[in-house]
A and B are shown apart, each in its own frame.
Chain A
Amino acid sequence: MDKVYILGGAQTDFERNWKKEGKNLVALLKEVIADGLDNANISYDCIRELNNDNRIAVFVGNFIAEKYVEQGHLGAFLTEVDSAFYGVPSARYEAACASSSVAIDAAQTKIRSGDYDVAIVVGWELMKTVDAKTGGDFLGRAAYYDKESKGIELPFPKLFAKLADETIEKYQLDEKRYLNALAAISANNYSNAKRNPLAQTRKWFMSYEQASNRGTNTNMIVGGRLAVSDCSQITDGAAVVVLASEGFVKEQKIKNKPVIKGFGHRVAPLQFSKKIGESSNSEYILPWTRQAVLDAYKRSGLSVEDIDVFEAHDCFTSSEYVAISCFGLTEPGKEYEAVESGLIAFDGKRPINPGGGLIGCGHPVGATGTRMLLDCYKQLTGEAGSYQVKGANNALMLNIGGTATTNYVFIIGNE
């Protein structure tokens, strides 16, 4: 496989509410693109030059701007950011919460094929334009809307509460032990976010006691066994990463940048009930998520032992829980061991979500894949500041869309 390098990128401050600031998607894109290009050391003049030879393209990840901000044709919006993008190939990619992973995949493919030398991947979502109930209904379109979401208040918390129920059932878990592990996952992500200056919840209070105290006024049940503390956030935000070919890196004499070592992309049955039905013969509750991880290990020639830091898709604590065995950190059904032993804590041997993940850092759905890749990049280049995991050489990210329907895995590492 030809090498694909990551040159850098940026994310917006996920604490920001762009509607309250009175700013639109163009403002969001202008800020994140400017910061991302600056970090990757790519100027607008450089873009113009590359574009003269048709060597650069843009890949946009976004789930559902048509609903949140009444806007489609999102690939074309780069031309509103700067005239340097006039003529630059650009299109939008969508796979619910894994939207920007599809964009990353398209970008790396176009670089490997030799079509382009530089790819700018930008993921974004503005979600605070509507109230929580309306937003929850929009997000219901990541499932089979007519059958799983329509007319149901906050369908996704309920679907991931079902995953919690099925996990307990499948592995005959002690309910209390399982729920305490979920509370610890929540507290861990919030605690990690405190070190991340761009995390949405960096100033919020959360503790294991608060997270395990479900059903109170300040931690209401949102579906089944899950409460507010088990949920990721409603977030406005964008993230950019710049990818480049080996030729470009050599030509520009760029050194010490990580490469994409492998990927996995598997799509499970769309409906949650079909997913669970199909998995009854597997030891994994989400076998296609596990398979995507295995595919990425195989393509990279690496195993779980080689991975120093993980980005899990903790849209709910129940999904991070399942991810633990999909990564291979424990046997399926024994995920609580990795939580209880501190294996996945910030100072553990295999930290998950050192920057806070979707629960702590925030979850602007279309931006999450690029945010994960960016955080992996920061860890591998030592740019993660106070949430730096020491000596990280390989990182793995798992970005899922819907109820773990689209499963995307990337392994990134230093050469």
Chain B
Amino acid sequence: MNIQTVTVIGATGTMGANVAGIFASFGNAKVFCVGRDIEKVRNTIPRIIASVRADSIADNLVPADYTMLDKCVRESDLIFESTSENIQVKKEIARLVSQSINEHAITCTGTSGLSIHEISRCYPEEVRKRFFGVHMFNPPYSLSLCELISTEATSETVKNELREYLEKKLLRTVVEVKDSPAFLGNRIGFMFINEAMQYAEKYKDSGGIDYIDAILGSFSGRSMPPLLTADFVGLDVHKAIVDNIHNNTDDYANDSFTLPEFVQTLIDNGALGRKKGEGLYKTFYYENGLKRKTVLDLNSEVYRDKIKYVFPFSERMKRHISEGDYMLAFEALINNHSQEAEICLSFLLKFIIYAVYAADKIGDGIDAADDVMAAGFNWCPPLALYEALSQVADVRDLIRERTELYSVVDVDRLLEKMVPSKYDFRKFFKTGRQ
């Protein structure tokens, strides 16, 4: 597939800008960066350059506004729509693009919330054959995951060519997924994160938010604990994802996608997380340069200092991980029956099973679960985690004894589908950040 010219519509948005950077650098394509206000687009160009750390792409980036859209689309081999998650907006874009698109061009939407089929139907039949959902993760320079979604109208040949382009030229980790709410990566990842929020509420007397984050810290196979991740993502974005899954899917884990009330309250108050300066966490900055990290206490509803939790199980895990004794670390987790260790282990086991369940349903193979979690979240991928735990215990027994999963899902059938992981679990288990 020869992609020389690309139009990114919505290039001033976070994803639009970052995706423009990927096309302009790895793809070495001329990229029309289209936004409502051309001045705003011009101001975005340095950010795009910084996102891939290469001034040499500057010549590839051409700022444009909607009055120039016709010309941009006409010249493009690929049109990437990255506008707001509103079907009316997408319909209008589709109408404009369809007027000038040339017959060989590919059209993509970067939506993370809407149905690809629904957006596809906004385009005339001829365009639909070459229409795809291309869902990248933020920031795409460091997270290489790219979920590729097609429809019944899509040409198989074109899909294969696009996949090859995304993999070979843009260096993406491509996973083909079905057009299912929130697709695969977010379905698995946000099950974990939202359930962590629910547990924060459930265990608010033990500390709540920072208590759960301390239990599911980097020693449990992720770079950032789940609730801190939600704060980074934005609580409004989090809500959009989990509501979409909760309302439009129906599986055994559906209740895990129910947004806790305290999160809704924060959203109503505009406390959307890191981008607004407060959310689940809040950092106070003082004039003398000092800062104070606080967390929302769910009982008193005020921000209090973060607690430095010390759990015997996690201290042991960290000590072992710091010397590369991963098996001893897993044994320390499994053999500890404190409330905290039970929560940590049950989350890991539920994660493995739901990942396999979702990949089986939505992905193009069970190993898709590994690709989405490693390349999209930087979490220890589920198949690799399963293999790691299997070295010290019978995971079936653990699931039977330490979770309720057997009563809600056919665990044995899912575990039979397990395939070897191509990922090394060791680098995902860290001792640094709690």
Contact = CB atoms under 8 A, between A and B. Distances in A.
Interface of A: 13, 16, 20-24, 26-31, 80, 194, 203-207, 209-210, 213, 216-219
Contacts of B424: 13
A30 B424 CA distance: 14
A16 B144 CA distance: 16
Given A21-B430, A21-B432, A205-B25, A27 B323 contact: yes
B432 A20 contact: yes
Given A13-B427, A16-B427, A213-B55, A23 B142 contact: no
Given A13-B427, A20-B432, A27-B323, A203 B55 contact: no
Interface in B420-434: 424, 426-427, 429-432
Contacts of A16: 427
A213 B430 CA distance: 38
Contact of B142 (A80, A203, A216): A203
A246 to B, nearest CB: 34
5 contacts: A22-B432, A24-B322, A26-B323, A209-B56, A218-B49
B423 to A, nearest CB: 11
Nearest to A21: B430
Contacts of A204: 53
A22 B322 contact: yes
Contacts of A207: 25, 28, 54, 56
Contacts, number: 75
Contacts of A23: 321-324, 430-431
A203 B25 contact: no
Nearest to A211: B56
Contact of A205 (B52, B321, B427, B431): B52
Nearest to B144: A203
Interface in B336-354: none
B26 interface: yes
B53 A31 contact: no
Centre residue among B56, B218, B429 by max chain A CB count within 10 A: B56
A254 to B, nearest CB: 26
Q: Which 4 A-B pairs have the closest CB atoms?
A: A27-B324, A22-B431, A30-B324, A210-B56
A20 B430 contact: yes
Query: Which range contains the number of B residues in contact with the other chain?
Result: 20 to 34
Given A21-B431, A207-B28, A217 B322 contact: no
A22 B321 contact: yes
B3 to A, nearest CB: 16
A205 B26 contact: yes
B56 A213 contact: yes
B318 interface: yes
Given A20-B430, A22-B218, A30-B325, 11 more contacts: A22-B318, A22-B430, A23-B322, A28-B324, A80-B323, A203-B171, A205-B52, A210-B54, A216-B56, A218-B49, A219-B55
A31 B324 contact: yes
B45 to A, nearest CB: 13
Given A16-B427, A203-B144, A27 B55 contact: no
Nearest to B223: A20
A154 B229 CA distance: 37
A205 B172 CA distance: 12
A218 B55 contact: yes
A398 B57 CA distance: 34
Interface string B155-183: 00000000000000001000000000000
Contacts of B49: 218
Interface of A is mostly: loop
Contacts of B432: 20-22
Contacts of B54: 205-207, 210, 218-219
A216 B50 CA distance: 12
A220 B218 CA distance: 34
Centre residue among B50, B142, B429, B432 by max chain A CB count within 10 A: B432
A183 to B, nearest CB: 11
Interface string B37-53: 00000000000011011
Contacts of B144: 203
B53 A205 contact: yes
A327 B28 CA distance: 34
Nearest to B325: A30
A30 B323 contact: yes
Interface in B310-361: 318, 321-325
Contacts of B28: 207
B25 to A, nearest CB: 4
Contacts of A213: 55-56
A270 B93 CA distance: 66
A21 B322 CA distance: 8
A179 to B, nearest CB: 15
A95 B54 CA distance: 35
B428 to A, nearest CB: 9
Interface string B216-251: 001000000000000000000000000000000000
A218 B322 contact: no
Interface string B403-434: 00000000000000000000010110111100
A200 to B, nearest CB: 13
Contacts of A26: 323-324
Interface in B34-85: 49-50, 52-57
B142 to A, nearest CB: 7
A314 B22 CA distance: 28
Interface string B128-146: 0000000000000110100
Contacts of A13: 424, 427
A13 B426 CA distance: 11
A13 B423 CA distance: 11
A210 B55 contact: yes
A203 B172 CA distance: 9
Contacts of A218: 49-50, 53-56
Contact of A21 (B53, B141, B427): B427
Nearest to A26: B323
Centre residue among B49, B218, B323 by max chain A CB count within 10 A: B323
Contacts of B52: 205
Nearest to B52: A205
A216 B55 contact: yes
Centre residue among B56, B324, B429, B430 by max chain A CB count within 10 A: B324
Contacts of A20: 430, 432
A45 to B, nearest CB: 18
Nearest to B59: A209
B322 to A, nearest CB: 5
Nearest to A23: B322
A276 B123 CA distance: 68
A31 B424 CA distance: 11
A186 to B, nearest CB: 12
Contacts of A203: 141-142, 144, 171
Centre residue among B26, B53, B325 by max chain A CB count within 10 A: B53
Centre residue among A194, A205, A213 by max chain B CB count within 10 A: A205
A31 B430 contact: no
Contacts of A22: 218, 318, 321-322, 430-432
B376 to A, nearest CB: 14
